[in-house]
A = this chain, B = another copy of it.
Amino acid sequence: MVNVQVYVTLKEGVLDPQGSTIENALQTMGYHEVASVQTGKYIELEIEEGNDLEARIEEMCEKLLSNPVIEDYTYTIGKGVS
């Protein structure tokens, strides 16, 4: 079993109203040092090791986990952040 972390973020230029809302809220709460906020998705997968692991992860990202029209993805294998 390998642990795979997928990070999905909005492409440059795509509006991020959730990020703007968080940014405004942090400013209102007194965190004036916050200059910008971008939101995204974090997805952790447990996958049985096999052939073509990276190719299959990329396929999953493109077909289901992200929307390639407006989102970018990156992934790391084997070292969880949590």
Report chain B residues within 8 Å CB of A65. Answer: 22
- Total copies of this chain within the assembly: 2
**Cβ of A45 < 8 Å from any Cβ of B?**
yes
Query: How big is the A interface, by class?
Result: 35 or more
* Complex Cα spacing A39 to B39, Å: 14
User: Interface readout for A64-82 with B: 1 if CB under 8 Å, 0 if not?
Assistant: 1100000010101000011
Please measure, in the bound complex, the distance between the C-alpha atom of A31 and the C-alpha atom of B53, giving whole angstroms. Answer: 11
Using a CB–CB cutoff of 8 Å, the interface residues on chain A facing chain B are 1, 7-9, 19, 22, 25-26, 29, 31, 33-50, 56, 60, 63-65, 72, 74, 76, 81-82
Sample 23 A-B pairs with CB under 8 A, ordered by A number.
A1-B35, A7-B42, A8-B42, A9-B44, A19-B43, A22-B65, A26-B60, A33-B47, A33-B49, A33-B50, A34-B45, A34-B46, A35-B47, A36-B45, A38-B43, A38-B44, A39-B41, A39-B44, A40-B42, A40-B82, A41-B41, A42-B42, A76-B81
